[in-house]
């Protein structure tokens, strides 16, 4: 009833090709954007912006990047954090070295730099696939972090190898409050998510999925494998690179190469697995899950232990948190291996049939 599409007729191609063909979806997305752009900036406190919302959006973008590569094009990668590092350091260098460089342009250039590096490390994908490719992209993870520590030029000869980014200023407006930074990140992430959604609906996306499902068949029907795979690597790295630049400029403020470790790559990989491989929405849900559950447990567990007078100290809470988190991931993967996005899809289908399921 709630989700009935009866009466919604599509009379032209434009209507048929909308991103959200069902009115309820359009309204839902509209409300969501309204909430994100207007209500949240007015209502949320600094803690929410600095510790939850901004990192959530940034990681959602990185997960989106990986999802394009792994979820849509079927190329396993363990180098997402490295591409983020490339983006962060590139944006920093463009900012510091070129006088009067607009921040947004340096973000785009950072994405392009990451895309270039991504193509380079995507080359092995032409010969190998699956787990072997994942191991090859591991090389990116180690090589890039090593490179950034090895050459002091890349951190502007900072004595410690840590870069501390300049203020974000666009057209004379300085993004120094948490709200403004959140809005900046939200705008960039929304635009890139929209672009991704359109990309995966287009010829490019269909080619990616064809390669993912069966590359020999894809080649037979005339899809250029090399071109398609490398494009996926480039686009994915572009997204990760922009996420890295935002991570440095709008979240941490100062980053060191060690921060972009293999752990972070795994974290992003878990995000798409839990969220849903091959789904734009899944990237967001996964990022939220992976980021929020530990924070939630971190706050809830001491409160619970105080309530029931349990002798927990901080270390115990931290360990319990890891266990609960691991158990939750396992639970989700067993109950719904296609991720949270799939759960949402099932929910929608049920709502369509409600109250008369068949």
Residues within the interface to another protein (CB under 8 A): 45-47, 50-52, 55, 96, 146, 149, 156, 159-162, 164, 166-167, 176, 251-256, 258-259, 261, 295, 298-299, 306-307, 313-315, 317-319
| Nearest residue to 117 (alpha-carbon basis) of 93, 136, 144, 146 | 144
Give dist(CA 55, CA 323) in Å, integer.
23
**CA Rg, the chain, in Å?**
21
Cα angle, residue 235 at apex, residues 231 and 240 outer, rounded to 5°: 145
The encoded tokens of residue 333 equal: 């993967």
Q: Between 17 and 167, whose beta carbon lies closer to another protein?
A: 167
Cβ 163 to another protein shortest distance, Å:
9
| Nearest residue to 187 (alpha-carbon basis) of 172, 211, 170, 201 | 170
Q: Strand, helix or coil at 213?
A: helix
Cβ 63 to another protein shortest distance, Å:
15
Q: What is the DSSP-derived secondary structure letter of residue 256?
A: -
Q: Between 18 and 254, whose beta carbon lies closer to another protein?
A: 254
Q: Between 259 and 276, whose beta carbon lies closer to another protein?
A: 259
Q: Between 18 and 46, whose beta carbon lies closer to another protein?
A: 46
Q: Between 160 and 198, whose beta carbon lies closer to another protein?
A: 160
Cβ 172 to another protein shortest distance, Å:
13
Q: What is the DSSP-derived secondary structure letter of residue 168?
A: P
Cβ 55 to another protein shortest distance, Å:
7
Q: Strand, helix or coil at 177?
A: coil
Q: Between 50 and 190, whose beta carbon lies closer to another protein?
A: 50
Burial of 27 (0-12, 13-18, 19+ CB in 10 A): exposed
| Nearest residue to 244 (alpha-carbon basis) of 114, 66, 145 | 114
Cβ 222 to another protein shortest distance, Å:
45
The encoded tokens of residue 158 equal: 């900072």
State residue 161 phi and psi, 5-degree precision. Answer: 85, 0
Cβ 252 to another protein shortest distance, Å:
5
Cβ 236 to another protein shortest distance, Å:
22
Q: Between 34 and 295, whose beta carbon lies closer to another protein?
A: 295
């Amino acid at each position: 009833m709630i989700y009935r599409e009866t009466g919604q007729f599509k009379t032209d191609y434009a209507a048929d090709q909308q991103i959200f063909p069902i009115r309820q979806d359009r309204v839902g997305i509209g409300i969501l954007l309204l909430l994100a752009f207007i209500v949240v900036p007015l209502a949320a406190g600094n803690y929410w912006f600095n510790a939850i919302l901004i990192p959530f959006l940034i990681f959602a973008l990185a997960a989106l990047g990986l999802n394009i590569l792994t979820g849509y094009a079927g190329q396993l990668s363990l180098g997402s954090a490295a591409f983020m590092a490339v983006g962060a350091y590139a944006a920093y260098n463009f900012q510091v070295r070129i006088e009067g460089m607009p921040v947004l342009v340096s973000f785009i250039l950072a994405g392009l730099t990451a895309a270039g590096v991504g193509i380079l490390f995507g080359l092995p994908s032409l010969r190998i696939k699956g787990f072997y490719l994942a191991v090859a992209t591991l090389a990116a993870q180690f090589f890039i972090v090593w490179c950034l520590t090895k050459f002091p030029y890349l951190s502007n000869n900072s004595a410690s190898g840590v870069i501390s980014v300049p203020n974000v200023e666009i057209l004379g407006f300085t993004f120094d409050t948490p709200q403004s930074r959140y809005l900046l990140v939200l705008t960039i992430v929304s635009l890139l998510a929209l672009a991704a959604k359109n990309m995966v609906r287009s010829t490019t996306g269909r080619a990616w999925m064809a390669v993912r499902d069966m590359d020999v068949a894809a080649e037979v029907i005339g899809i250029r494998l090399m071109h398609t795979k490398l494009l996926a690597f480039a686009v994915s790295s572009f997204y990760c690179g922009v996420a890295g630049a935002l991570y440095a400029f709008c979240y941490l403020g100062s980053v060191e190469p060690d921060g972009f470790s293999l752990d972070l790559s795994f974290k992003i990989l878990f995000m798409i697995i839990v969220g849903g491989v091959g789904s734009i929405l899944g990237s967001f849900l996964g990022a939220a899950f992976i980021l929020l559950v530990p924070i939630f447990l971190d706050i809830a567990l001491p409160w619970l232990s105080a309530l029931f007078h349990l002798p927990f100290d901080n270390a115990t809470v931290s360990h319990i948190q890891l266990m609960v988190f691991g158990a939750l991931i396992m639970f989700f993967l067993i109950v719904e291996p296609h991720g949270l996005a799939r759960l949402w899809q099932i929910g929608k289908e049920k709502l369509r049939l409600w109250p008369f399921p068949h």
